A and B are shown apart, each in its own frame.
Chain A
Amino acid sequence: MRPGYAIILERAIASPTTMTTNATPEALSHAPSLAIDVQGLSKSFGHMTALRKVDLQLAYGEGLALFGHNGAGKSTLIRTLTTLIRPDEGTVRIAGFDRESQASKIRSIIGYVGHQSLLYDDLTPRENLRFYAKLYGLPDAHELVERSLAEVGASTYAERRVRVLSNGMQKRVAIARALLHRPRVLLLDEPETGLDQGGLELLDSVVAAVKQGGASVVMATHGTQRGLALAERAIVLADGRVSLACATSETTVDAIQQAVLAERGASSRSGAQA
C-alpha cells in the first residue's frame, strides 16, 4: 500500500466520522433497525429465473459476503438492491425505505461499485466526481471530491482523462465515486476485478472504514477468503436461491467453496438434462 492513502485510510478507520454518511437529514432521521430487509425476492428475465424467493436481513455496521458460481444470481440481487432492477415479487427495504415507493431516497443512501466504472472516459476523475456530486446535491462538493480522490490514492491522476488510466486506477476512482456521498449501504459487485495488491488492500481498508462508520456493506465476490475476512455474514446463492446462510465466524473457506462447487455441479447437471 502506498504511504499517502495509507495514512488517510488509517485516519479514516481511526476516526469513523470521515466515512460517515452524507445522506439528507430526512434520510438520516429515518433510522430503522435494519439496513437491508429483503423478503421473498424473485426476478426472472424471460424464461430464465435469476432470483427465487430470496430473504435477506442486514444490520447497520455489518458486512455480508455473497458467494456463488457465475449466473447464481449475485449481480441480479445487488442490482435489485440498487433499484436498477425492479423485482417481480417480494419487498426490498433499504434503511426502511421501500423500493417501490421511495426509490429515490434509497438511491441517496447507497453506494454501488459494479462491473463497469460508471465514469465518463473523456472527463477526468475530478470532473467525473464533481458531476456526480452535483447530481447528489452535495453541499460541500469540492472538499468531498478531493477527499474521496485522496482516499483511493487517485489525487495524482485527478487531471488525466479516465480513458488513459489503467483498469485498476479506474476501479479506484469508481470506488471514490461510490463513497462520494458517504453512503449508509455500500453495494460491491466483484469489486476486486482489475485491482492490484495495493488496490486490494485499499478495498479492504475502505470496507472496514465504511463498516466502522456505521454503514453496511454487501459484497459479491469469488474471493472466498477476502469475503469471509471482510464480512460478518455469508450467503451462498445457487440458481437464484439461498443455499447457505451463516455467520462468517462459524464457517470456513473450504466449507464455502464446497458449497459453491456442489451447487455449480448440480446446476450443470440440471442444465445438461434440460
Chain B
Amino acid sequence: MKSYLRSAVAVYAKDMRLEARTKETFSAVLAFAVIVAFVFGFAFDPSPTVVALVGPGIVWVAYVFTGILGMNRTFAVERDRGTLEGLLLAPVGREAIYAGKLASTTTIMLVVEVLLYPVFLVLFELNLFNIWFVLITIAATVGFSAVGTLFSAIAAHTRAREILLPLLFLPIVLPVIIGAVASTSAALAGDGWGGVGKWLQFIVAFDLVFLVLSSWAFDFVLEE
C-alpha cells in the first residue's frame, strides 16, 4: 500500500510539475472551453427562462468536450515522447500509474471547470457558485477521469486516437452526463439534497464501479 501511494503520488507530482511548467494541456483545454461557452452564448438568446431550461446542458456539454480534449493528451504525451516505457519499466503496479494519471487529469479538469464558473455567470447569468453544484462537479469529473484515463491509454496505442477516444468514452459516460445535467438542474432550482441527492448518489456509485474496473483493466491495456 505504501509503495502504491508513493508511486501514484510520484506520477501525479511529475504530471503537475510538467503541466505547471508547460501549461500545454491547461491552456488548450481552457481556451477550448471558453470558445464553446461563447458559441453557445451567441447561439441563442440567454433569457432567464431559456437558461433555466438549457443552461445545465450547456455547462456539461462544455465540460465533456473540454474533458475529452484534455484526456486525449494524458497518455498521448507519454507515448509520443517514449516516456510511457519508462513508467512501464519501473517496478510499480500499473494501478499506481493509473491512480497518478487519474489524479492529475482530474485536477486539471477541475481547475478549468472552476475557472469557467465566472464565464457562465457573465454569459448566461448562471450562478454556479453553489455547494451542491461544486459536489456534482467533483463527482462527475472523477467519473469522467476514471473512464477517460483508461480509454486514453487504449487510444494512445492507435493512430486515430483523437477519433477513437470520444467514440469509446462518450457512450460509457452517458449515465454520468445525464446524472450531472439532472442534478445541476435540481441544484440551480434550489431543490437541495431532496432533488440532488439521488443523482449525486448515482454518480458516486458510477465512480466507484469504474474506479475499480478501470484500475483492474489498466494492466491489460498497457501490454504491448
Hey, which bits of chain A sit against chain B, CB under 8 A? Answer: 79, 82-86, 104-105, 107-108, 110, 112, 114-123, 127, 131-132, 134-137, 177
Contact = CB atoms under 8 A, between A and B. Distances in A.
Contacts of A120: 14, 18, 81, 83
Residue picked from A79, A114, A134, A136, most chain B C-beta under 10 Å: A134
A29 B22 CA distance: 44
B224 A85 contact: yes
Given A107-B89, A107-B91, 4 more contacts: A104-B93, A107-B90, A135-B10, A137-B7
A114 B6 contact: no
Contacts of B82: 114-118
A79 B89 CA distance: 10
Contacts of B7: 134-135, 137
A122 B90 contact: no
Given A114-B85, A118-B85, A134 B6 contact: yes
B17 A121 contact: no
Residue picked from B21, B83, B223, most chain A C-beta under 10 Å: B83
Interface of B: 3, 6-7, 10-11, 14, 17-18, 21-22, 81-83, 85-93, 223-224
Nearest to B224: A85
Contacts, number: 69
Contacts of A112: 89
25 contacts: A82-B89, A83-B88, A84-B89, A85-B224, A105-B91, A107-B89, A108-B91, A114-B85, A118-B85, A118-B89, A119-B83, A120-B83, A121-B81, A122-B18, A122-B22, A123-B17, A123-B21, A135-B7, A135-B10, A135-B87, A135-B91, A135-B92, A136-B91, A137-B3, A137-B6
B14 A123 contact: yes
A83 B81 CA distance: 19
A118 B82 CA distance: 6
Contact of A131 (B10, B85, B93, B224): B10
Contacts of A131: 10, 14
A177 B87 CA distance: 12
Contact of A132 (B6, B22, B86): B86
A107 B90 CA distance: 6
A83 B82 CA distance: 16
A120 B88 CA distance: 14
Contacts of B89: 82-84, 107, 110, 112, 118
Contacts of B93: 104
Residue picked from B11, B85, B87, most chain A C-beta under 10 Å: B85
A264 to B, nearest CB: 26
B1 to A, nearest CB: 13
A258 to B, nearest CB: 34
B175 to A, nearest CB: 34
Given A84-B89, A132-B86, A135-B10, A123 B224 contact: no
A82 to B, nearest CB: 6
Contacts of A122: 18, 21-22
Contacts of A118: 82-83, 85-86, 89
A-B pairs, top 9 by smallest CB distance, nearest first, are A116-B82, A118-B86, A108-B91, A134-B10, A135-B90, A107-B91, A104-B91, A131-B14, A122-B21
A132 B91 CA distance: 10
B38 to A, nearest CB: 30
B50 to A, nearest CB: 44
A127 B21 CA distance: 13
A268 B208 CA distance: 55
A82 B224 CA distance: 12
A131 B22 CA distance: 18
Contacts of B86: 118-119, 132, 177
Nearest to B100: A135
Nearest to B223: A86
Contacts of A134: 6-7, 10
Contacts of A135: 7, 10-11, 87, 90-92
A198 B14 CA distance: 32
Contacts of B92: 104, 135
A51 to B, nearest CB: 14
Contacts of B85: 84, 114, 116, 118
A127 B17 contact: yes
Contacts of B88: 83-84
Residue picked from A115, A121, A132, A135, most chain B C-beta under 10 Å: A135
Nearest to A135: B90
A136 B6 CA distance: 10
Contacts of A79: 224
